[in-house]
Chains A and B, each alone.
Chain A
Amino acid sequence: MGNIIREYRTIKEIVGPLMLVDDVEGVTYGELADIKMEDGSVRRGRVLEVHGKKAMVQVFEGTRGLSPEEVKVKFLAKGMEFGMSVDMLGRVFDGSGRPIDDGPAIIPEKYLNVNGNQINPYARDYPNEFIQTGISTIDLLNTLVRGQKLPLFSGSGLPHSRIAAQIARQAAVLKTGEKFAVVFAAMGITFEEAEFFIADFRKTGAIERSVLFINLADDPPIERLTLPRMALTTAEFLAFEKDMHVLVILTDITNYCEALREISAARKEVPGRRGYPGYLYTDLSTIYERAGRIKGKNGSITQIPVLTMPEDDKTHPIPDLTGYITEGQIIILRTLHAQGIYPPVDVLPSLSRLKDKGIGAGKTREDHSDVMNQLYAAYAQGKNARELAVVLGESALTDEDILFVKFSDAFEDRFIRQGEYENRTIEESLRIGWELLGMLPKNLLKRVRDEFIEHYYPKSS
């Protein structure tokens, strides 16, 4: 069936990014198609539905300028495959997987289907190895582990890109002699943002161990649907066939979801919340669940998806459904940003659900868990007291409250705030944590075990 050349001029309809081709034969679901224009240029498409002799094709580069009379569609008898090679490291690709730097063509070692296969849950290994990002609010309070998926929930105008770049730059591993790579998937971000990442990766040499996929804001939105899948296929190749620890940064998931909504609307599907399709959860999970570790394999895939919450609203379907799939979230807070604090991580609602598995003696340090809980509790108490003072006036505060307010101010200034190029070790983060706890009398440190207080509490302040 795959042998006959199947080229058709029978385009019946063009609606948004979709094209209906009639009188086809032997076409299968998910099959790739080349859409040839009269001027010789070619666009890529994929079969979304096939019914008898009719095939509905989604055109990746968009349908602009297509005329039913002029184009030819050729079905390729294969699904979305992408050629893989370690030579992809250090290279930049567009949303269709074509190199857009000036480097040579990639000679693929093998072809892989971009939709991947589901990891058998039985074959998974539990993520439990600490990744040091050099950012105190993550390493000490919301620890990232290899194989985790931990998104940044941000808003427009907030410095999530800088934070993501900082993580990519600094995410070293504690063990030496291991291979590390970054796969960067940019969906619908601006030219300036993309340039920022590329320049930053170049400057720090990180580009040598990175693969970049870039779809800009004015590139075809439909490419955003396959771009993360290409990026993750590359990550799987590097992680599970080349033994690398791969960090995947996906930005901006909001643009991805909008592209999905566009396709869904063009197909006249029953919309779910805010017009997003009802299968948004399942679709997102086929991206996020591609993070992880596999028993018997040395590599791992860790994901940092970045998304901008419309109106900073955490209950919007995109952050909401993301939160239901990922293993925690790092929330970027506008008010901290306005105070000039970088990185403006909202410590209290942020959470890494896998943190407990990656910290403690032998992984980070014995007192890590206690210090984390104590800093968290003290900051929460300080913030509460600060709010109380706003409602009832300063005079309503007890001496203890005032102490905690002072603590939380210092915490924001010295612990949360750090330089964009400041790469703190976990020991440094712990040291700063203890310095701050030193502001509080020992008897208020109820979450820290006595032996740790004895050992680490600052001797004199």
Chain B
Amino acid sequence: MDGMKGEVVKVSGPLVVASGLGGARMYEMVRVGELGLFGEIIEIKGNEYSIQTYEETEGIGPGQPVVRTGEPLSVELGPGLIRSIYDGIQRPLDTLARDFGEYIVRGTQRPALDRTKTWDFKPVAGVGDTVKGGDVLGTVQESALVIHSIMVPPGRSGTVRQIGPVTGNVDTRVAVIEGPEGTFDITMVQRWPVRDPRPAKRKIPPTQTMTTGQRIIDMFFPIAKGGTACVPGPFGSGKTVVQHQLAKWADAQIVVYVGCGERGNEMTDVLMEFPHLKDPASGQPLMERTVLIANTSNMPVAAREASVFTGISIAEYFRDMGYSVALMADSTSRWAEAMREISGRLEEMPGEEGYPAYLGSRIAGFYERAGSVICIGSDDRRGSVSIIGAVSPPGGDLSEPVVQTTLRVVKVYWGLDDKLAFARHFPAINWLTSYSLYQDIADTDSDSSIDGAWSTNRKRAMTILQKEAELDELVRLVGIDALSYEDRLLMQAAKIIREDFLHQNAFDDRDTYTSLHKQFRLLNLILRYYDEIRTGLADGATLDALLKLNVLEDISRAKLIPEDDPGRFSEIEADIVNSIRALIW
């Protein structure tokens, strides 16, 4: 290759321009300057190569060397991903902390997958099998929750010539395959260029709900496995808490959490909390299914731009094994801002609010990597990647470009409302403006697996909430006394739905997760109360008495009823009936 080494011509913040790199390709990785900083070629104009550097460029100047690596920005995929914490370009932060101290030192690198760890490879394929890309050759027990499939890399095929149980680090050869272009070794690690989607045999429409244990989400605005959702909201409205809650309680098999340009302490929070939290399905620590990518706000912006691609590539890799994967990106606005900054330094023609004109296509391209797929490989296994992206609009203004372009591609919108957050109603998801296009899937799922009345209850409850909003305006103008008694009862029911169903405290051990069964019982209880007070009113009970029943205390505590005590709901229902009967006689 010609021009493996060039030199720096210009430095402007994270942007370095180099010359003498003839033959280099777009998105090839280079090492910049005497320190060997990591960078990526993002523009080529004649002999000028624009490089976004993933590290601070202080001390870099014209004349310093730039060395090509011949490879695009890639991730290492193999056992050891789970429980890891990486920066935006997959440098292992735990190993870096161990070897270089508490600050991130420029130009340092350690392998993403720890070479000192050994794994037991158990073959699935046998000598003589013909295999192709995606076929599982064997497995490794990566963590208590994850069996890691060692697959033939996409695009390769041949006949297995050697394979057998072996123990070693990820570089250990586990199989030898004779392909059309010669024999090659298979180790436990693959590399993949992050900007390219990993191939699947075929995309299929999502058919399963992803349950999250969050009542407003599961009941009213559900997300599907393989679906996409966005969580926009002003600062402090609860985006990060929603993302953390999903990372904790969603019934995905693998979680990839990308902290993209947000706070360092929030990543620490996850690191400290997840090992102690138990997955509700398996009872194993949540960390056993989690991969963390942390590119905090003060870390270089170019690496932030790369972080979501690093994350999604890892997610797709687990999808290819047949897992359902959930990826959270907090926050995609910081990612878009990183693009804007680099674009500005390239002196590209700015689009709306200074964002590059390709903002929309980049955002769409990212969310398109979500989906439910038939994986490559002969067994037609299915896997999925769901993406949940937080959006942080300036001043909470939803008309800004990142929100608007995101809304064009995602199927679920959880709109966070600062008025609700302000009133400490959490999660502050606005039930009037949010939506989910996976509602049908969820209705079908839950009507058959939970209770036939699931979808009718949901619709009734939403109607009550919508009617409340209309009546509210009236009340603000003329006072509550102007409402009819029936409307007063509806207002009461709506209030209970809001305070005792929608409101969910993420920091209360008993409230943080609610199973679908319990969600159904809880909403059913509230609707039952509403039915009974309406009957009571018709039968002559006074409004005041109906609104002040003692049993309301029990209803408001019902969300704390333990999962294994469904009988308690029936008791409260009986109490409702009895206390209203007592009013009439």
Contact = CB atoms under 8 A, between A and B. Distances in A.
B479 interface: yes
Nearest to B331: A324
A320 to B, nearest CB: 5
B568 interface: no
B120 to A, nearest CB: 27
A118 B417 CA distance: 33
B298 interface: yes
Interface string A431-446: 0000000000000000
A50 B61 contact: yes
Contacts of B58: 28-31, 79, 113, 115
Given A121-B268, A289-B297, 5 more contacts: A120-B104, A123-B102, A125-B268, A282-B338, A377-B424
A292 B264 contact: yes
Interface residues of A, number: 71
Contact of B297 (A52, A113, A325): A325
A72 to B, nearest CB: 20
A297 B101 CA distance: 12
A154 B9 CA distance: 45
B424 A376 contact: yes
A121 B264 contact: yes
A286 B61 contact: no
A269 interface: yes
Contacts of B296: 118, 121, 285, 289
A269 B265 contact: no
Interface in A247-300: 269-273, 278-279, 281-282, 285-286, 289-290, 292, 294-297
A120 B294 CA distance: 9
Contact of A272 (B17, B269, B354): B354
A15 interface: no
A317 B394 contact: yes
B298 A285 contact: yes
Interface string A122-156: 11111100000000000000000001000000000
Interface stretch (A60-68, A92-100, A348-356, A410-418): A348-356
24 contacts: A28-B61, A29-B12, A49-B10, A50-B61, A51-B62, A52-B10, A120-B101, A122-B96, A122-B294, A124-B267, A126-B268, A270-B354, A278-B337, A278-B354, A281-B261, A281-B297, A289-B264, A295-B102, A297-B102, A315-B396, A323-B234, A324-B235, A353-B236, A354-B265
B149 interface: no
Given A30-B59, A49-B11, A392-B479, A126 B263 contact: no
Contacts of B382: none
A163 B330 CA distance: 33
Contact of B263 (A28, A320, A327, A377): A327
B43 interface: no
A396 interface: yes
Interface of A: 25-31, 48-53, 79, 113, 115-127, 147, 240, 269-273, 278-279, 281-282, 285-286, 289-290, 292, 294-297, 315-317, 320-321, 323-325, 327-329, 348-349, 351, 353-354, 356, 376-377, 380, 391-392, 396
A325 B263 contact: yes
B402 interface: no
Contact of B265 (A123, A278, A292): A292
Contacts of A29: 11-13, 57-61
Nearest to A313: B395
Contacts of A327: 263, 265
- Most interface-central of B294, B299, B422 (chain A CB within 10 A): B299
A286 B298 contact: yes
Contact of A282 (B11, B59, B301, B396): B301
B238 to A, nearest CB: 10
Contact of B59 (A48, A79, A286): A79
B97 interface: yes
A323 B236 contact: yes
- Most interface-central of B265, B422, B479 (chain A CB within 10 A): B265
